Chain A
Amino acid sequence: QITLKESGPTLVKPTQTLTVTCTFSGFSLSTTGEGVGWIRQPPGKALEWLGLIYWDDDKRYNPSLKSRLAITKDTSENQVVLTMTDMDPVDTASYYCAHRFFGVHAFDIWGQGTMVTVSS
């Protein structure tokens, strides 16, 4: 059974860097085909794709946010980390991680999400 859970700060100040960790179980990012994606959702608004990372360290990013994003993995700890620099109030959102298998191109299992507010 695959599960994912996001953790990180609930409040960050403008211009700061956000770090959110996705801790998962039920699969390994050392296994061919496995991947984890990141998606966010501002309150009352639509989902937005941020990026994803695959078992082979292949990384894909939303082109409009690419300069601010970094996704890394710690295979031994079963964790994926999302880093977003220069946070702004418009980045206030719930941040989700989700499981993905290469070639299927869908997010089949999602974490519960973590709400991040950007405010001074």
Chain B
Amino acid sequence: QSALTQPPSASGSPGQSVTISCTGTSGDVGGYNYVSWYQQHPGKAPKLLIYEVTKRPSGVPDRFSGSKSGNTASLTVSGLQAEDEADYYCITYAGMKDVFGTGTKVTVL
């Protein structure tokens, strides 16, 4: 199975916004509204930020938002803060399997 494509890195200054893309195919991202996004700090387990493309679990700041257009999903982090510096992964349900993204390292300048 092919991984979802994410940019290796993204960056922004505090207070700015950064958007991370997650590109798949019509058989995964484009075919299901089940994209989720995770944040992972070094040495820590991933944390769920977004599920079902746009939904936020309780406790996740509304600075994090998700969207999808065609075969590409996106995560936007608004009002960047120092603690947002981390790796971010997308995952999509694709029928009988999950497909994971390649990961994006976000740097807060």
Contact = CB atoms under 8 A, between A and B. Distances in A.
6 closest Cβ contacts across the A-B interface? A106-B51, A105-B93, A106-B36, A105-B34, A110-B45, A49-B98
14 contacts: A46-B3, A47-B100, A47-B103, A49-B91, A49-B97, A96-B45, A104-B51, A105-B34, A105-B51, A105-B93, A106-B52, A107-B38, A108-B48, A112-B45
Interface residues of A, number: 23
Contacts, number: 64
A60 B51 contact: no
Interface of B: 1, 3, 32, 34, 36, 38, 40, 45-48, 51-52, 57, 89, 91, 93, 96-103
Interface of A: 37, 39, 46-49, 52, 60-64, 96, 104-113
A106 B48 CA distance: 8
A113 B1 CA distance: 24
